[in-house]
Structure 1
Amino acid sequence: MSELLLRTTSSLHESIREELLRRIRSGTYAPGSPIPSTSMLTQEFSVSPITIKRALRDLQAAGALVSVAGKGTYVKEQTRILRTLNVTAPLLDETKIQLISITREKISDPVMLAMDPPKGAMLCVRKIIFADGGPLMYDATYLSSDVDDEIVEEFGQRFVTAALNRHGIHLVNTDLIIDAAPATGKVEEVFAIPTGYPMLRRFYKLRTNDPEVTVFGVVQAPFDLLACSVSFPLKAAASTSASSKRVASKPKKRRASK
């Protein structure tokens, strides 16, 4: 039995999990490389396969390992892309789009319902955005179901906002809600991650210069793959504050004594 099991711990699988994590961080198991099979780890640590699988499952949920069906378990390459929260700007150079589907359906996500979308069916455009050879984001966009067919045909090659812009429909306001939630449904397949893997989600509501066209949607990405930044201009506030201080520092004129 490995010496690590002699340590005081609450359970065997936690000890094994921490040892495997130590090996990953030290480079013993390099990023992108396979780790030993369950049977090999079972023999090394003299524990049951169930204990090993529990430790591996924990490390997958934490983003340290990724399981590839039919091949094995690999150390996940920790590459994070930082993107500025600007829906009007291009995502990244060399970004590619894969159209998944265009359907008509109602918005049912509780978070998106907080943005007061229409209650009827909307046009739903689902896409995968690829960068550096792999999936970066999964995007589901909802908009009016009576959008011209000419515009809809462009959704397979362009982002929805870019297609609208080409037809004179421009963004005038953006509302965002950012949260984190466990992976469910299609995103598990797209990113090859287990159920419950933490996802970064960005919900958006985009108002346009056409009162009949408001865009709703949600972009999802694994928490360790994408991060978002935002910048707030404070010059005006700083200038106002400085002016207030100057006014406050001026000596008050005394009234002449009668």
Structure 2
Amino acid sequence: MTQGLDEGSSIPLYAQLRELLKGQIREGAFVPGERIPSEDKLNGMYGVSRITVRRALQELVEEGYLVKCPGKGTYVSERIPGMSAQSKVRAKFTQNNDVQSFTEACESNNQRAGAHLISIEEVDGIDEARDFFGFGSEGRLLRVLRIRTADRTPIMVEENYFPAGEYGFLRKADFEDTSLYDIIAASGHGDPMLTEPCALDLEKAPADLAPYLDVPVGEPLFCLVGRYFDADGSAMYLGKQHIVGTRYTFRI
């Protein structure tokens, strides 16, 4: 007899583990957005093989109870089957660039803003940076990719590009549940400023971002692109927000 599982049952162990974990999720032992124990920990907790654990988790992913985030772990889905859907986060978007920050939008909805770093890496210059940064496509950039959540519901992936030399300090910054503006301001660079219209377009969730947003590949997303400057009018960063359209409302 393994912990909570019956080896003598005609029901396979992976199916027993699947139903046990499913029950824990529905009862609130694991809440939406929470990372569940690793395969190794589940193996130790229930005394079953890694293959058994992996099959149970995979079936829970297929049923919509769990979502796997590459390099991060397995999390409880924000849209548990048969349970009430998450509310939208409402923000305002105006043509004069008076854009409410994500943190402010969450506060206005009595929700808690969260942030989790996905990756930070140095990359080659991109076409959009050619004129903005003034160093052409040959310039090196820091690409900061992180997910923003509201009450642990994934809302958007932020994809920001900074000049690699001047903003090298970002490599050591703590991005966990921290405002990007606060990180930049603390370094002495001042608050980012928008002085020109943003571009709002539609896109389909690509395979590399969909798991972080807990949506299927091809899900319609908003893509909001803005060019941010410092107080002296110098280019600070190029920002892209990949936003789940069903969870976010722009007020124009």
User: How does the TM-score come out when normalised to structure 2?
Assistant: 0.54
Counterpart amino acid of residue 159 in structure 1: S
The secondary structure found in structure 1 opposite 2:103 is: coil
Map of 1:218 onto structure 2: 240
Cα distance in 1 for partners of 2:217, 2:184 equals 35
Identity rate, percent: 14
The answer to whether the 8 A contact 1:78-1:224 is kept is: no
C-alpha displacement at 1:133, in angstroms? 2.2
Cα distance in 2 for partners of 1:213, 1:194 equals 35
Q: 1:122 aligns with which of 133, 138, 141?
A: 141
Deviations 1:186-220 (A, max 9, x none): 22111232221100111111011255542101111
C-alpha displacement at 1:180, in angstroms? 0.8
Cα distance in 1 for partners of 2:102, 2:88 equals 19
Task: Summarize the alignment of residues 64-143 of structure 1 with structure 2, pairs less than 5 Å apart.
Answer: 69-71=61-63, 74=81, 77=85, 79-85=87-93, 86=99, 90-91=103-104, 92-93=106-107, 94-106=112-124, 108=126, 112=128, 116=132, 118-119=136-137, 120-143=139-162
The answer to whether the 8 A contact 1:199-1:223 is kept is: yes
Larger Rg: 1
The answer to whether the 8 A contact 1:115-1:205 is kept is: no
Map of 1:191 onto structure 2: 213
Consecutive unaligned residues in structure 2, runs of 5 or more: 1-25, 27-58, 66-80, 94-98
Counterpart amino acid of residue 162 in structure 1: D
Map of 1:208 onto structure 2: 230
Cα distance in 1 for partners of 2:236, 2:242 equals 20
The secondary structure found in structure 2 opposite 1:69 is: helix
Number of residue-to-residue matches in the alignment: 163
C-alpha displacement at 1:161, in angstroms? 2.6
Consecutive unaligned residues in structure 1, runs of 5 or more: 1-32, 34-66, 231-258
Cα distance in 2 for partners of 1:194, 1:151 equals 31
Map of 1:63 onto structure 2: none
Counterpart amino acid of residue 114 in structure 2: K
Counterpart amino acid of residue 173 in structure 2: E
The secondary structure found in structure 1 opposite 2:85 is: coil
Cα distance in 2 for partners of 1:190, 1:78 equals 16
More helix by share: 1
C-alpha displacement at 1:184, in angstroms? 0.5
User: How does the TM-score come out when normalised to structure 1?
Assistant: 0.53
Which portions of structure 1, spanning 4 or more consecutive aligned residues, are displaced by more than 6 angstroms? none
